[in-house]
């Protein structure tokens, strides 16, 4: 038995941080976890009391094993030495013996994540136990409980009730507990603060939004018809009934969905007393634009805009203590995040990623550009999660896009076909689609271009011109070639940091305002195809999908000020311009839609819904096997496998910091604002980092292997990190490609 007060965390004398006692940590974790579960279950349709008990019991006993004498010796000495005895086994053992398996599951996974129930069940008496030490722990557990009683209090018996919950609800409850643990630890070590979140003030924000939209109507940026269409869309969305939990909005691109849908969700937040509004976007580069709009339109005088509208780029969830301070938590009134972050969190099993999930219940969620949110094979399981949130956690959803497929009516995605109402009236939708036919026209070009032929084709059309390629490499090669031959060209892709992309976006917007400056091209990747407020004269899209082509149509003649604009679908055949084989099916479907005159006869929603149907029929075997594998593992509570399968982007990427100042600060273990960290970094596939070409350019920071420093050439005004890679392509390095 411990005669000195036991510790939960060691001191860090070099930083002036004292040790944290076991009692103080347990009290802090229980307080935070209880606050989390209490706030969350206000919106729960199930047995909130049983769920709360599970979380509190897990919080109470999660660190019981730290009371082991050997563990205490290491904690009191400090340093980086690991605890000799796995400290989670004791709490898991006690709770399992008491038949409190739900709580034991949380204790067992509070560092390694939610585990596989089928695997644990098959471990022959070692369910949720460490097979290396379980006998030793069983012999000592009474000593641990005695110490716990001495320094914190007696462990009372539970009610004995077991919750019947879905996989999503288990993740939500686990989030409450691990956020209590991570949060209390981070505050102790100075990585996070205890600052209270900003008040929602939904009524005031709606008033501010109304004023902002009215001011926009007074600006001379669009034709009278376009302005009238935007005003009708805004009023229709704002005044729609807030009772339905699911809505769609297929208002065409450029008709003000950003503000119109927000008006509806603010009304829903007022009527339903919701906690947060989430805006989920498919691409990181359009987050800043939306954030800027919302900060102008929703922030009240005297507030800090960054605390009201939080932007969340990339995956900023790190498992080590030193990096937890950079995790973006969903605590602001309005959170603008990526589809990758949102959907992968729903299916996650790791505590670092799940700790924010408990903030989601009681929220309004705007899935903007929903057509590009996730791969089609993820929708069957994602739809079940969204329905769970809507039916059992009082969430409100709006699925919006100018090219919105009605996936809720596709029997390959959901067997129970949903009737999801549209925020726009039927007559308004007919008029909007008529204006779309007058604004833009689509052409298929069947010729396959090499890079020189493509340049000539682009230059033959009216400028300014937008050209979108399918890969980072193809876009960089074309932009580089165009610049070398004296053509006016700008390049935009994820080879640039968010900061550099934002600066380029502002330059592009300014240049588009200059009437006499027309003979130039923007060469980009799909990062510009949705959400960008660009209006080019002509656009070119490397063949990809029907939805992508229609989205590019939203970047030409956006405000309806010119005659009908042209958008060309094209294909490339050049050794330096790599094809993406994953697009084969969608490209073939797009070709048949052109042959059948769909773009002449149908509206965007009909086109993309038919494209989705055909893509699923063409690729049904692959779709069915992938989607079924996810739902099967989810139904079995195999959490690690679900997390593995539910990757929105099927690539293992790492954050690579471009800014030398931030790299140096990280090396010195200085506190870095998570937004600054992300906005000065790029994401690069780990498989590429390990190659000879990238290995010398990407150096791990402090041996974390989660954050790297970029050491190669970098051109923030043109090619980004491709500045260092292009010379390798010139040398025709075999097999080198960046998708």
DSSP 3-state assignment of 390?
helix
Q: What span, in angstroms and rounded, lies between the C-alpha atoms of 12 and 22? A: 16
Q: What span, in angstroms and rounded, lies between the C-alpha atoms of 713 and 63? A: 47
Q: What span, in angstroms and rounded, lies between the C-alpha atoms of 39 and 33? A: 10
Q: What span, in angstroms and rounded, lies between the C-alpha atoms of 173 and 358? A: 7
Instruction: Specify the pLDDT at position 660.
Output: 94
Strands 653-657 and 565-572 come out as unpaired
For the record, the structure tokens of 707 come out as 């954050």
The top-level CATH class assigned to 202-424 is: alpha beta
Strands 465-468 and 521-524 come out as parallel
Strands 363-367 and 465-468 come out as unpaired
Residue 681 burial by Cβ neighbours in a 10 Å radius (0-12, 13-18, 19+): buried
432-618 matches 202-424 in CATH topology: yes
C-alpha separations of 5 from 82, 148, 184, 482 in Å: 20, 10, 19, 70
Q: What span, in angstroms and rounded, lies between the C-alpha atoms of 215 and 219? A: 7
For 7-188, CATH gives 1.10.3210
Regions of the chain short of the pLDDT cut 50? 315-327, 732-739
What phi and psi values does residue 409 have, to the nearest 5 degrees? -110, 10
pLDDT tens sequence across 387-429: 999 999 999 999 998 888 998 998 889 888 888 999 988 888 8
Comparing C-alpha atoms, which of 117, 92, 120 is closest to residue 106? 92
C-alpha separations of 419 from 237, 369, 408 in Å: 18, 20, 8
Beta bridge partners of 709: 657, 699
Instruction: Specify the pLDDT at position 396.
Output: 97
* Count of alpha carbons within 13 angstroms of residue 78, beta-carbon side: 10
Q: What is the enclosing helix (H) or strand (E) of 542? A: strand 538-542
Comparing C-alpha atoms, which of 385, 424, 426 is closest to residue 264? 424
pTM: 0.85
Q: What letter would DSSP give residue 629?
A: H
For 432-618, CATH gives 3.40.50.300
Q: What span, in angstroms and rounded, lies between the C-alpha atoms of 367 and 423? A: 14
Furthest C-alpha separation in the chain = 85
C-alpha separations of 149 from 94, 144, 154, 211 in Å: 14, 9, 4, 59
Comparing C-alpha atoms, which of 145, 108, 142 is closest to residue 128? 108
Instruction: Specify the pLDDT at position 322.
Output: 45
Domain-by-domain residue ranges, the chain? 7-188, 202-424, 432-618, 651-730
Comparing C-alpha atoms, which of 318, 330, 395, 319 is closest to residue 356? 330
What phi and psi values does residue 37 have, to the nearest 5 degrees? -70, -35
Q: What is the enclosing helix (H) or strand (E) of 426? A: helix 426-439
Q: What span, in angstroms and rounded, lies between the C-alpha atoms of 237 and 319? A: 41
For the record, the structure tokens of 55 come out as 């979380």
In sign, the C-alpha dihedral spanning 390, 393, 394, 396 is negative
DSSP 3-state assignment of 685?
strand
Q: What is the enclosing helix (H) or strand (E) of 231? A: helix 224-238
Q: What span, in angstroms and rounded, lies between the C-alpha atoms of 645 and 143? A: 42
Q: What span, in angstroms and rounded, lies between the C-alpha atoms of 144 and 65? A: 7
Q: What letter would DSSP give residue 427?
A: H
How many CB atoms are located within 10 Å of the residue 550 CB?
Answer: 28
């Amino acid at each position: 038995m411990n005669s000195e007060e036991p510790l939960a965390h060691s001191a860090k004398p070099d930083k002036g941080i004292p040790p944290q006692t076991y009692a103080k940590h347990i009290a802090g974790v229980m307080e935070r976890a209880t606050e989390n579960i209490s706030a969350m279950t206000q919106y729960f349709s199930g047995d909130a009391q049983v769920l709360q008990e599970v979380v509190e019991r897990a919080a109470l006993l999660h660190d019981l094993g730290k009371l082991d004498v050997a563990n205490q010796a290491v904690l009191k000495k400090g340093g980086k030495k690991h605890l000799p005895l796995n400290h989670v086994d004791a709490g898991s053992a006690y709770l399992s013996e008491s038949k409190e398996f739900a709580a034991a599951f949380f204790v067992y996974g509070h560092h390694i994540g939610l585990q596989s129930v089928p695997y644990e069940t098959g471990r022959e008496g070692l369910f949720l136990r460490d097979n290396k030490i379980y006998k030793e722990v069983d012999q000592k557990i009474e000593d641990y409980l005695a110490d716990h009683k001495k320094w914190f209090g007696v462990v009372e018996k539970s009610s004995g009730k077991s919750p019947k919950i879905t996989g999503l609800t288990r993740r939500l409850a686990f989030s409450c507990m691990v956020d209590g643990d991570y949060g209390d630890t981070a505050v102790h070590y100075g990585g996070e603060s205890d600052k209270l979140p900003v008040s929602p003030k939904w009524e005031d924000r709606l008033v501010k939004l109304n004023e902002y939209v009215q001011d926009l109507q007074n600006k001379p940026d669009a034709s009278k018809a376009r302005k009238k269409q935007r005003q009708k869309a805004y009023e229709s969305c704002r005044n729609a009934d807030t009772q339905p939990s699911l809505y769609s909005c297929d208002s065409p691109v450029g008709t003000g969905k950003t503000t119109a849908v927000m008006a509806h969700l603010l009304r829903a937040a007022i009527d339903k007393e919701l906690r947060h509004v989430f805006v989920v976007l498919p691409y990181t580069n359009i987050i800043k634009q939306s954030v800027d709009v919302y900060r102008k339109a929703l922030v009240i005088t005297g507030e800090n805009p960054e605390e009201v509208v939080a932007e969340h780029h990339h995956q900023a969830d790190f498992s080590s203590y030193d990096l937890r301070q950079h995790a973006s938590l969903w605590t602001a009134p309005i959170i603008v995040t990526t589809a990758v972050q949102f959907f992968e969190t729903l299916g996650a099993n790791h505590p670092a990623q799940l700790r924010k999930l408990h903030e989601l219940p009681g929220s309004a969620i705007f899935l903007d550009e929903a057509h590009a949110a996730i791969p089609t094979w993820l929708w069957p399981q994602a739809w079940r999660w969204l329905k769970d949130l809507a039916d059992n956690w009082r969430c409100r959803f709006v699925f919006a896009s100018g090219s919105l497929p009605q996936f809720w009516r596709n029997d390959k995605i959901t067997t129970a076909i949903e009737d999801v109402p549209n925020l726009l009236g039927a007559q308004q939708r007919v008029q909007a689609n008529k204006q779309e036919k007058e604004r833009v026209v689509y052409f298929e070009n069947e010729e396959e271009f090499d890079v020189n032929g493509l340049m000539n084709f682009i230059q033959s059309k009216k400028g300014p011109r937008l050209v979108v390629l399918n890969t980072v490499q193809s876009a960089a090669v074309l932009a580089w070639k165009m610049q070398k031959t004296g053509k006016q060209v700008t390049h935009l892709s994820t080879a640039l940091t968010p900061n550099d992309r934002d600066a380029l976006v502002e330059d592009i917007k300014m240049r588009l305002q200059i009437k006499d400056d027309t003979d130039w091209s923007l060469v980009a990747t799909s990062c510009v195809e949705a959400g960008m407020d660009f209006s080019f004269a002509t656009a070119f899209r490397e063949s990809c999908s029907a939805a992508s082509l229609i989205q590019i149509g939203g970047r030409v003649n956006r405000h309806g000020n010119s005659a009908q604009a042209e958008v060309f679908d094209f294909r490339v055949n050049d050794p330096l311009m790599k094809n993406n084989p994953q697009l084969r099916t969608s490209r073939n479907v797009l070709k048949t839609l052109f042959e059948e005159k769909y773009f002449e006869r149908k509206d965007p929603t009909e086109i993309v819904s038919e494209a989705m149907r055909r893509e699923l029929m063409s690729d049904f075997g692959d779709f069915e096997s992938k989607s079924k594998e996810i739902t099967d593992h989810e139904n079995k509570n195999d959490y690690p496998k679900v997390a593995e399968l539910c990757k929105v982007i099927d690539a293992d990427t790492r954050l690579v910091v471009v800014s030398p100042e931030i790299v140096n600060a990280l090396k010195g273990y200085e506190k870095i604002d998570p937004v600054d960290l992300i906005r000065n970094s790029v994401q690069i596939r780990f498989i590429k980092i390990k190659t000879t070409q990238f290995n010398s350019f990407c150096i791990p920071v402090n041996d974390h292997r989660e954050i790297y420093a970029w050491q190669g050439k970098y051109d923030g005004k043109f090619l980004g990190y491709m500045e260092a890679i292009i010379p390798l392509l010139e040398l025709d390095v075999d097999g080198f490609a960046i998708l």
